[in-house]
Amino acid sequence: MISIRKGIGALRDQRSMNFLYSGKRSPVMINWAITGGCNSKCIFCEVPFSTSKDVPLQRMHELIDEMMSHMPVRGFHLVGGEPFVRKDIWDILAYLHKRKAQVTVTSNATFVDRFTPPQLEILRKAVGLLRISIDSADPPQNDELRGVPGTTERVMKSIHILLQEKRPDLAITTVVMNKNLTQIPHLCRLAARLGIFSLEFQPISPISIFNGTHAIESKIDLVPRMPVEWECLNRVIDEGITEAKRYGLQTNLPTFKLYAVPYFRSLGQSSNGLFQKELMSDFRCMKINRSMFVDFDGAARPCSILSSQVGNVKQESAQQLWNKLGAFRYDEKKGELPDACKYCFCHTGENLRASALLSPWKNRKLLSYLLKNDQI
């Protein structure tokens, strides 16, 4: 039975999200690909491997000032490429810390053994959560998927260093495809052995998320498209949930179980209908309403999936760009979303939770499931 405490907490979250959906004049979160450079060669990623179009440091400082003082933004999620390819990332992190921003960074964690003590100090102070990309608990396979021999060894060394530093908090993030779907329970056990107690799984996307780049042609072959693969995926997710409970891990696996197979199944269908609307009533997109995505070249978009850019932070203010994105928020409120939303791979879980809380009666079974499995 759902506890009264959880129910009250969920209703509080609902009121908070209703506020977010009521025409708030600024985003809560900025998802920022701060560089197009990367030292990995992941077989599923279209990163441009170039830093030439990165937003200059001085302009980033100006934007951070505007976002924190005048909008105001609460937090930043820094991604890439590989964020630590930027040599001036330490200036960026120090400035975000100075402005008291909440910061999350997603990284391949292959540079940590090169960080100096002052850099580790900045990392401790500025970053609340470091999400580390690991796609297999089997070192040879992980190296293969990440595209660089020796990657896993370096990541394990980095994790050891970071755990000694006590902060930032660490989480493992994994892209699930047909090559590694059986790794889910193994990754849970690996996390427990390492002393990392948070994992997030997301399905591979067949499209490119980088502005001006085309999807890798062979990537569609990494998508689980056969019923036997879907059955296997459901089974290993259940095994992963069991392992997570055994070791006290926080994962998104109960939510991932709801949408992983429907997502992969929808990719093989010619229909433009959104699979999300089959999973919940009154489907709402949290990302369009509460965050803005800034690409490696400064292009401002609703999210990493939608290619429609409304301008560039190199030439326009963040507030101007957020206002331009209002057309997407208006359409979303009417239930009109672009066809490309069917490729949403990293925000579906968040949108499931938002939709359940915003329409709790219509989604009462979904809400009950999410509460029971500690997904809210």
For residue 132, give the nearest of 44, 197, 209 by alpha carbon. 197
Has residue 4 been placed in a domain? no
Q: How confident is the model at residue 84 (pLDDT cuts 50, 70, 90)?
A: very high
- Residue numbers of the domain that contains 245: 25-373
Q: Output the pLDDT for position 19.
A: 44
pLDDT per residue as tens digits for the range 203-218? 999 988 887 788 898 8
Give the pairing type, strands 311-312 and 299-301. antiparallel
Has residue 15 been placed in a domain? no
Does the structure show a pLDDT above 80 at 10? no
The first and second tokens of residue 350, run together, are 């968040």
Which CATH number is 324's domain given?
3.20.20.70
* Mean pLDDT, residues 322-330 taken together: 94
Has residue 288 been placed in a domain? yes
Q: How confident is the model at residue 5 (pLDDT cuts 50, 70, 90)?
A: low
Has residue 295 been placed in a domain? yes
pLDDT per residue as tens digits for the range 96-154? 999 999 999 999 999 999 999 999 999 999 999 999 999 999 999 999 999 999 999 99
For residue 349, give the nearest of 244, 263, 273, 267 by alpha carbon. 263
Has residue 240 been placed in a domain? yes
Q: Output the pLDDT for position 286.
A: 87
Has residue 6 been placed in a domain? no
- Sign (positive or negative) of CA dihedral 213, 150, 194, 181: positive
Does the structure show a pLDDT above 60 at 21? no
Has residue 149 been placed in a domain? yes
The first and second tokens of residue 237, run together, are 């997710």
CB atoms within 10 A of CB 341: 24
For residue 171, give the nearest of 104, 113, 119 by alpha carbon. 104
Sheet holding 102-107, edge to edge: 250-251, 198-203, 169-176, 129-133, 102-107, 75-79, 29-33, 291-294, 299-301, 311-312
Residues in the chain: 376
For residue 229, give the nearest of 186, 180, 290 by alpha carbon. 180
Has residue 263 been placed in a domain? yes
For the chain, how many structural domains are there in total?
1
Does the structure show a pLDDT above 80 at 23? no
